[in-house]
């Protein structure tokens, strides 16, 4: 007989609100929300001051089994999912070999059944030749079609930068709210940090363009123009101080004159991108989990795996 648990006084995160209520679990599954007070359970956990969230479903992951397990395998990747609160992952088909047939999909599912610590699903990839395989596929969350979200070029050269900037701009025009796979070359087989930081700048520029230009009395600065008047300057005006930080500025694009650029070293955009990468790697420090939270997650994983 399964064991029942009541979690009380938690701030439960729902799709549209956060509410303090009780949750009942039966055999590890949620069976009731806001149960009656008289409902008896095997144990009660007081979650006062804590939030209760559903497990995260990550529908876009790139794990490396089969073919590239020197980078990562399903066991290590799913363990990381569990530690980060991801209870279900859906993986892309660009492993080696690509998951473009039912047979390769079944092979992945068989691997996952013995190696994964969380729920899983695997996309099947579309090619110009595998339409019959796609029709037969059943145990898959969907079909992945690569249509240019990542560059097909092999190097971070003019072609790759042009493709990336063009695709990001098209995504902005279409109202896309997520641009992923930035920094990819060879349709996802190779990754470039150089192109990643360039794409970060392209995305920032496109986002600013998509915001448009506000046309109202405040943004037209009518009152500021009257205050400053002919022959004055706006640098010390309150309107400038209130709004100058709103102006998007690039990190990599160089807008200096040719002579100034040449005097300062004549660095290319690629060289500036490499400098930015070095700065990030040298200075960025991610915020770690609290030690007690990290230790508790490790205990849970060890209990699951028997390690």
Rounded mean pLDDT, 182-206: 85
Please indicate, yes or no, whether residues 18 and 76 belong to a single structural domain of this protein: no
Please indicate, yes or no, whether residues 45 and 66 belong to a single structural domain of this protein: no
Q: Kindly state whether residue 303 falls inside one of the protein's structural domains.
A: no
Structure tokens at 225: 């123009």
For the chain, the first-to-last Cα distance in angstroms comes to 26
Residue 154's pLDDT is 46
* Res 35 pLDDT > 90: no
Q: Which residue has the higher pLDDT, 103 or 55?
A: 103
Rounded mean pLDDT, 249-264: 89
Please indicate, yes or no, whether residues 48 and 86 belong to a single structural domain of this protein: no
* Res 40 pLDDT > 70: yes
Please indicate, yes or no, whether residues 114 and 43 belong to a single structural domain of this protein: no
Q: Which residue shows structure tokens 């996309």?
A: 123
Residue 146's pLDDT is 65
Q: Kindly state whether residue 229 falls inside one of the protein's structural domains.
A: no
* Res 151 pLDDT > 50: no
Residue 118's pLDDT is 92
Query: 1-15, 43-57, 172-186: which has the minimum mean pLDDT?
Result: 172-186
Residue 135's pLDDT is 92
pLDDT band, residue 148 (cuts 50/70/90): very low
pLDDT tens digits, residue range 195-209? 889 999 999 888 888
**13-17, 133-137, 150-154: which is most confident:** 133-137
Rounded mean pLDDT, 100-114: 95
Please indicate, yes or no, whether residues 74 and 127 belong to a single structural domain of this protein: yes
* Res 95 pLDDT > 90: no
Q: Kindly state whether residue 122 falls inside one of the protein's structural domains.
A: yes
Q: Kindly state whether residue 214 falls inside one of the protein's structural domains.
A: no
Rounded mean pLDDT, 75-88: 90
Q: Kindly state whether residue 163 falls inside one of the protein's structural domains.
A: no
* Distance in angstroms (rounded) separating the CA atoms of residues 212 and 172: 12
Please indicate, yes or no, whether residues 138 and 59 belong to a single structural domain of this protein: yes
Please indicate, yes or no, whether residues 127 and 66 belong to a single structural domain of this protein: yes
pLDDT tens digits, residue range 267-284? 888 889 999 999 999 999
Residue ending a domain, among 145, 176, 194, is 145
46 lies in which domain range?
4-52
Q: Kindly state whether residue 219 falls inside one of the protein's structural domains.
A: no
* Res 149 pLDDT > 70: no
Residue 123's pLDDT is 94
Residue ending a domain, among 104, 130, 145, is 145
Q: Kindly state whether residue 77 falls inside one of the protein's structural domains.
A: yes
Please indicate, yes or no, whether residues 31 and 108 belong to a single structural domain of this protein: no
Please indicate, yes or no, whether residues 73 and 126 belong to a single structural domain of this protein: yes
Q: Which residue shows structure tokens 């072609």?
A: 159
Question: How many structural domains is the chain composed of?
Answer: 2
**Residue 28 maps to which CATH number?**
2.30.40.10
Burial category of 249 from C-beta neighbours within 10 Å (exposed 0-12, middle 13-18, buried 19 and up): exposed
* Res 105 pLDDT > 90: yes
Residue 307's pLDDT is 52
Residue 236's pLDDT is 86
Residue ending a domain, among 99, 120, 145, is 145
Q: Kindly state whether residue 162 falls inside one of the protein's structural domains.
A: no
Q: What is the average pLDDT value for the chain, to the nearest integer? A: 86
Please indicate, yes or no, whether residues 60 and 116 belong to a single structural domain of this protein: yes
């Amino acid at each position: 007989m399964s064991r029942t648990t009541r979690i009380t006084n938690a701030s439960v995160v729902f799709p549209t609100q956060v509410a303090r209520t009780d949750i009942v679990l039966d055999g590890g599954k949620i069976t009731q929300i806001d149960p009656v007070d008289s409902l008896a359970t095997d144990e009660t956990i007081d979650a006062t001051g804590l939030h209760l969230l559903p497990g995260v479903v990550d529908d876009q992951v790139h794990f490396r089994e089969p073919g590239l397990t020197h980078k990562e395998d399903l066991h290590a990747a799913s363990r990381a999912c569990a530690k980060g609160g991801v209870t279900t992952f859906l993986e892309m088909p660009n492993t080696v070999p690509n998951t473009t047939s039912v047979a390769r999909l079944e092979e992945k599912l068989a691997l996952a059944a013995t190696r994964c610590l969380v729920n899983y699903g695997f996309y099947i990839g579309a090619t110009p030749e595998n339409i019959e395989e796609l029709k037969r596929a059943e145990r898959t969350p969907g079909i992945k079609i690569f249509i240019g979200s990542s560059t097909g070029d092999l190097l971070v050269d003019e072609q790759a930068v042009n493709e990336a900037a063009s695709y990001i701009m098209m995504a902005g025009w279409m109202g896309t709210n997520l641009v992923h796979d930035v920094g990819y070359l060879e349709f996802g087989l190779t990754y470039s940090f150089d192109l990643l930081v360039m794409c970060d700048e392209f995305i920032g520029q496109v986002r600013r363009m998509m915001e448009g230009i506000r046309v109202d009395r405040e943004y037209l600065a009518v009152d500021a123009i009257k205050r400053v008047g002919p022959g004055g300057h706006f640098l010390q005006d309150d309107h400038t101080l209130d709004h100058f930080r709103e102006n998007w500025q690039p990190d990599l694009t160089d807008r200096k004159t040719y002579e100034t650029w040449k005097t300062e070293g004549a660095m290319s955009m690629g060289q500036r991108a490499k400098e930015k990468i070095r700065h990030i790697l040298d200075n960025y420090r991610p915020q770690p989990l609290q030690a007690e939270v990290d230790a508790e997650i490790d205990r849970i994983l060890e209990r699951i795996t028997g390690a």
